[in-house]
Amino acid sequence: MFPLAVFVVLMTFTAFGISGSSTPLLATDAGSGDSVVFGLPRSIRSDEWIVHTPMVISQVENDSPRYGDVGVGSHDMSILSDLPVLDWTAVFHPNHWAYPILPIDNAYAFDWWSVGAILVLGTYCFLLVVTGSLRWSILGALFLYGSPYLHWWYTASVFTAIGWMAFAGAFLLVAVTSTGRRRIVFSALGAFSLVCFALVIYPPWQIPAAIAVAGVTSGALWTRWRTNAASLRSIVTAGAVMAVLTLIPLGVFVLTRRPAMNAIAHTVYPGARVIPGGSLPWTHLFSSWFGLNYLTNGSGMRGALFPNESEASSFLFLGVTLLFALPLVWRFVAPLGDRLRGVMIATVAVMALFLTQLFVGLPKIVARVTYLSVVPEPRTLIGLGFSSMVLVVAIGVSLERFEIPRRTKWFATAVLVSVSAVCVIGLAQDFRSVHAAMGSRLIAVAVIAAVASAALYFWRPLVSVGVIALFGLMVSVPVNPLVNGISQARDSLVVSKVRTISSAPNGDGAWVAETYPLASLLTTAGVQNLSGVNLYPNVAAWEIIDPSHTYENAWNRYSQAVWSFDTNLKAAVVALPQADMVEVKINPCDPVLDKFNLRHIVTEARVAAPCLRLQEESVGPYGVPVFFYERTPVGIPSSEGWTVR
């Protein structure tokens, strides 16, 4: 019934075209229009409304091509950012399956909610196979879904990295205890899940997700082998079938995407990035208890202790504080021979690995072998969040099955309550010390929620986790608004003007804009957009702008490009304001732009140049004036910059 309920919710939102996009901010009224059904679009979710959704719209309305002329040169759209592409790889992106058959508003709604469904159902199946408890599997899935981390970062990769790995682990565990055709079928389903996981292609979330799920799965496999529920032969057979069926499509993918994959691997950022570990503030683990504060006054708290709401987000880490009380009850909740003992041992080991990397730093060899050396510390939280949830659920199941002496329960409860209270109150004091906009009432709510769930856990574990799950859903799901369709972006004044100009006689040619919002609207309009996001560096295209590689350290990365125009410049200057932002300063009449057939420039300020003619004026997001210039080629217009792939 639970999967059916999830499916009904998904289909309902899809039918009404309701998503959680903040793209109404791209409209002239900046999100105050009738399309916002509930909540507020959030500018801090810029990865979604400025980057991802405009690229999705561009892809769909251009018939989902493999290559898109967005950014400096063409880019393979099947590599990053989870964009719909109509080729064989679409089979392994189920959240994209609606785009060829439904109107874009409904298909986008399906895309938006299906990634959450993948997380919920994958976690539910995994917990059901591991624990055998239906109610704990449902509660654990909802507990994880109600994590502020997932909703402040709301992208397909953060949900599906965990969801598909959880499905793969569940199918493997069923396969090793099955025989004949059933083993092959479940191994094949596991392989399908692994390919879907691999094609997420966002290693900072995939690596900790894989470590967490694989670690817990290994504990469950050990228990099954030890109790003769699975033989070594069945484990090897199922694993071999999964490996072969996984490696075949992944091998084809790598071979057919080699140029783009090589470009990504050799980037300065993130390719050459090394994370030593050991520098995450301990307070970050408990920021989600203050979800109501960030939900109601995130901008007031922004920069106080953490850079912004997304970077501040975390999980409700009851499992971490539970580690302090676990030694007191271990022999009761995990007796020798118990079916969940191996799961708990493996889960604690995985959590110890993550916590060591976060607060101490792993030995270099361990960090390299686990690939945690390439994972920014805040991204590691996704693996810690999943394993923490598993520990809470596994011990909760055991608490219902075994009798624990009352004195032991009281001691364990005292420890759990004390640690939870100290951690939450300590973070509250840190917020107060930097004068963050945090009221006493909401601090009290956070402390009460943390302490109450801790106090109940060893006595009424199901109620305790239910309280946390409800609290998490309350402070995380409303992060994103409910929006009817994505027409405010698709039909905005700027997009309509761009489409009118580009469809007119002699309206062909590439475009460039000088700000993020304007660049994203050009992407939304589906035109060749030199100022779009560079999913990876198209080296040959950048060499047209920087033939001597003078600025390679700046452009050889994943980046958003900011363009500015200076008629006094004789050659382009490329700067690096921040790790994922490239600033290109150029003369609008520079002949190098002819090699991209640049014919249109969109700005928020008037520009005077001999090659420019003011063509139109309009209004952009937040009512800002927008000027459309037609650019006359200085030399011979060419599409050279868009041809190298």
Degrees to nearest 5, angle at CA 221 with 220 and 225: 120
CA 258/CA 254 separation, integer angstroms: 6
- Checking if the pLDDT of 605 tops 80, the result is yes
CA 45/CA 21 separation, integer angstroms: 9
Residue 33 lies in a domain: yes
- Checking if the pLDDT of 29 tops 70, the result is no
Q: What is the predicted pLDDT for the residue at 297?
A: 87
Q: What is the predicted pLDDT for the residue at 106?
A: 97
Is 246 in the same domain as 300? yes
**What confidence tens digit (pLDDT) does each residue in 280-319 have?**
999 999 999 999 999 988 888 888 899 999 999 999 999 9
| Helix, strand, coil abundance in the chain, percent, nearest 5 | 60, 10, 30
- Checking if the pLDDT of 32 tops 60, the result is no
Residue 66 lies in a domain: no
Task: Give residues with Cβ within 8 angstroms of 385, minimum separation 6.
Answer: 144, 147, 149, 314, 315, 317
Give the mean model confidence (pLDDT) for residues 62-79.
94
**What confidence tens digit (pLDDT) does each residue in 80-101 have?**
889 999 999 999 999 999 999 9
Structure tokens at 355: 């916590």
- β pairing state of 625-631 and 36-38: unpaired
528 by Cβ neighbours in 10 Å (0-12 / 13-18 / 19+) ranks as: buried
Residue 282 lies in a domain: yes
Cβ atoms of 32 and 125 closer than 8 Å: no
Give the mean model confidence (pLDDT) for residues 222-226.
94
Is 536 in the same domain as 434? no
Q: Which of 454, 479, 504 is the last residue of a domain?
A: 479
Residue 71 lies in a domain: no
Is 465 in the same domain as 592? no
Structure tokens at 262: 């090589």
Q: 584 forms bridges with which residues in the sheet?
A: 563, 574
When the pLDDT of each residue in the chain is averaged and rounded to a whole number, the result is 94
Give the mean model confidence (pLDDT) for residues 456-482.
96
Of 346, 298, 301, 2, the residue nearest 145 (C-alpha): 2
CA 587/CA 610 separation, integer angstroms: 11
Is 239 in the same domain as 377? yes
Cβ atoms of 18 and 37 closer than 8 Å: yes
Structure tokens at 70: 């967005």
- What is the number of structural domains in the chain? 2
What region, left, alpha or beta, does residue 375 occupy, with left being phi > 0 and alpha being psi -120 to 50 degrees?
A: beta
CA 454/CA 293 separation, integer angstroms: 21
Give the mean model confidence (pLDDT) for residues 496-518.
93
Is 24 in the same domain as 161? yes
Residue 58 lies in a domain: no
Give the mean model confidence (pLDDT) for residues 356-362.
96
- Checking if the pLDDT of 168 tops 80, the result is yes
Is 475 in the same domain as 498? no
Q: What is the predicted pLDDT for the residue at 160?
A: 97
Q: Whose structure tokens read 């969940």? A: 340
CA 292/CA 303 separation, integer angstroms: 17
Is 261 in the same domain as 390? yes
- Checking if the pLDDT of 456 tops 80, the result is yes
- Checking if the pLDDT of 28 tops 80, the result is no
Q: What is the pTM of this model?
A: 0.95
- β pairing state of 598-603 and 510-513: parallel
Q: Which domain holds residue 519?
A: 492-643
**What confidence tens digit (pLDDT) does each residue in 73-82 have?**
999 999 888 9
CA 636/CA 645 separation, integer angstroms: 22
Q: What is the predicted pLDDT for the residue at 33?
A: 62
CA 452/CA 449 separation, integer angstroms: 5
Residue 460 lies in a domain: yes
**What confidence tens digit (pLDDT) does each residue in 328-346 have?**
999 999 999 899 999 999 9
Neighbours of 384 (CB within 10 A): 25
Structure tokens at 146: 């109600």
Is 460 in the same domain as 401? yes
State what percent of residues in the chain have pLDDT above 90: 84
Q: Which of 445, 479, 513 is the last residue of a domain?
A: 479
CA 173/CA 308 separation, integer angstroms: 39
Is 475 in the same domain as 512? no
Give the mean model confidence (pLDDT) for residues 161-180.
97
Is 440 in the same domain as 467? yes
Q: 125 forms bridges with which residues in the sheet?
A: none
Is 541 in the same domain as 458? no
Residue 494's φ and ψ, nearest 5 degrees, are -65, -45
**What confidence tens digit (pLDDT) does each residue in 114-149 have?**
999 999 999 999 999 999 999 999 999 999 999 999
Is 178 in the same domain as 304? yes
* 30 confidence band (pLDDT: 50, 70, 90): low
Residue 237 lies in a domain: yes
Least confident of 22-31, 79-88, 573-582: 22-31
Residue 487 lies in a domain: no
CA 396/CA 400 separation, integer angstroms: 7
CA 52/CA 81 separation, integer angstroms: 7
Rg (CA), the chain: 26
Q: Which of 479, 514, 546 is the last residue of a domain?
A: 479
- Checking if the pLDDT of 562 tops 90, the result is no
How many Cα atoms are found within 13 Å in the side-chain-facing hemisphere of 311? 15
